[in-house]
Amino acid sequence: MTISLTEENYIKAIFYKSNSNNIGVSTNSLSNHLKNKASSVTDMLKKLADKKLIRYKKYKGVLLTLKGEKIAINIIRKHRLWEVFLMEKLNFSWDQVHDIAEQLEHIKSEELIKRLDSFLGKPTLDPHGDPIPDEKGKFNETKSIPLNECKILKEIIFIGVKNHTISFLKYLTSIGLGIGDKFKIEAINDFDNSYQIKVKKNNLVFISNDLASNILIKIKNE
Amino acid sequence: MTISLTEENYIKAIFYKSNSNNIGVSTNSLSNHLKNKASSVTDMLKKLADKKLIRYKKYKGVLLTLKGEKIAINIIRKHRLWEVFLMEKLNFSWDQVHDIAEQLEHIKSEELIKRLDSFLGKPTLDPHGDPIPDEKGKFNETKSIPLNECKILKEIIFIGVKNHTISFLKYLTSIGLGIGDKFKIEAINDFDNSYQIKVKKNNLVFISNDLASNILIKIKNE
DNA sequence: ATTATTTTTTAGACTCATCTAAATTTATTT
DNA sequence: AAATAAATTTAGATGAGTCTAAAAAATAAT
């Protein structure tokens, strides 16, 4: 069975919109995410259901089948491996890689991905700190928490972001924060739950609670 | 102006079918090459002419405009750079790279190609010995001749192939012949113009004239 | 529990790239 | 140069993926 580029993008969107609870993804949320009209989404959902890639009941939203999930995870694996390639080998900055990886993820060749994976040293995290599933589709879960759930003044490792917008990524770069960096929480302001952190020898940086909720961290030595 | 993947493939096909003499490429030859019906080709030619990518007169065949040629050369550049990447970095064999490069050549990002080029050390020949045009579209012409035009017993450098079919490439590999290899013409049989060559310490290999016409060589120290 | 609102689906139309079948033009024979 | 063959184009149709506008179903509000 062949799966078109468009179908792949729908499958990926459904995967991203799926919550761990088994509630179907709504037509509208896919419509927003894919920037297509809801009616177009409905059409495609019928097609994907025919192919047994999703379970779809009219008006009830949609869930991936095992087959569909496998495909989604494989696309994500390809996307993230290419992102690693673009940053590590071609020295792109992390806010530049997404659009290119969005294209590369659709290249069809299992052998290519296998070799790319080896070439990159079988990485388990992409440049945004997101886990890269292995050949079997298994995610190496690195338990991270958003910075705003950390209420103690400790040494922190920055391991990922929740918000992937380019402006956010650029902002982090501008304050000297990159994946893997260590920083220290110097103060937590209880009036607005904002943070003051110190990255390396840089000055103190002020982080709003909202911002902090999009920064994924691990507490050092835990 | 956006150019679709399909349009890119037509432009590339027209480029490959163009002879240095200014004779238009026929609808039928494109039809064969692209494995589309002639009527489909006609439709697309009209479209490409509207976009000023080709010059097209009904029943008279087709030529690329400067704009079209630029695009064709850029696609070829991308194709060949990716082939180098696949062989040099991912250790694919030269008969495996074409199909994957056929997909990769359509990835849209000038920056990507610029960086890939640098990463690969700005190569001027691809793994099949075909020249890689530079950013400006200039081909580094390495004047090569087909083996069957060489009538003297000399040391030879194998620099490319004319026939790119997988079976031919596999055959060359099987007799121990790879791009850049040196070999010696041991004998030229005048009854059928076939060749006997010696690759490294291997046994003598028999090469028919037909085969020889598809092997591009340079005579050593010339 | 009716009404109003939002979400989703259906119906019909459009573009892109393709096809088949028929018509037309060009090239080749005799 | 007329007849035949080959190449090319036109006309009309199809499938994929999208759209708008209208209908139907689900959800929320009074």
Question: Going from the N-terminus, what domains does chain B have, and what CATH number goes with each?
Answer: 5-64 (1.10.10.10), 145-219 (2.30.30.90)
* A82: phi then psi, degrees, rounded to nearest 5: -65, -35
Which nt sits closest to A40, CA to C1'? Answer: D18
Task: Tell if A47 CB is < 7 Å from nucleic strand D.
Answer: yes
Task: Tell if B189 CB is < 7 Å from nucleic strand D.
Answer: no
In the prediction, which pLDDT does B133 show?
96
Residue B107 is nearest to which of A91, A104, A116, comparing CB atoms? A104
Instruction: Give the pLDDT mean for B180-194.
Output: 87
Which positions of chain A have pLDDT values less than 50? none
Q: Which of residues 185-214 of A touch strand C (CB under 7 A)?
A: none
- In the structure, how far is the CA atom of residue B11 from the C1' atom of nucleotide C25, in angstroms? 25
Judging contacts by C-beta atoms under 8 Å, the chain A residues touching residue B115 are 90-92
Interval B13-37: pLDDT, tens: 999 999 877 889 999 999 999 999 9
Long-range contacts of B167-174 (CB under 8 A, 24+ apart): B168/B214, B169/B94, B169/B95, B169/B128, B170/B95, B172/B215, B173/B93, B173/B94, B173/B95
- In the structure, how far is the CA atom of residue A49 from the C1' atom of nucleotide D19, in angstroms? 22
Interval A53-77: pLDDT, tens: 999 999 999 999 999 999 999 999 9
Residue A90 is nearest to which of B100, B103, B119, comparing CB atoms? B119
In the prediction, which pLDDT does B221 show?
65
Task: Tell if B28 CB is < 7 Å from nucleic strand C.
Answer: no
Q: Write the ipTM.
A: 0.82
- In the structure, how far is the CA atom of residue A3 from the C1' atom of nucleotide C9, in angstroms? 24
Interval B106-148: pLDDT, tens: 999 999 999 999 999 999 988 887 899 999 999 987 778 898 8
Please state, for a pLDDT cut of 90, what percent of chain A lies above it.
55
Distance, CA of B114 to CA of B117 (rounded, Å): 5
Placement of tokens 């095992």 in the chain: A66
Instruction: Give the pLDDT mean for B65-76.
Output: 97
How many other CB atoms are found less than 10 A from the CB of residue B143? 7
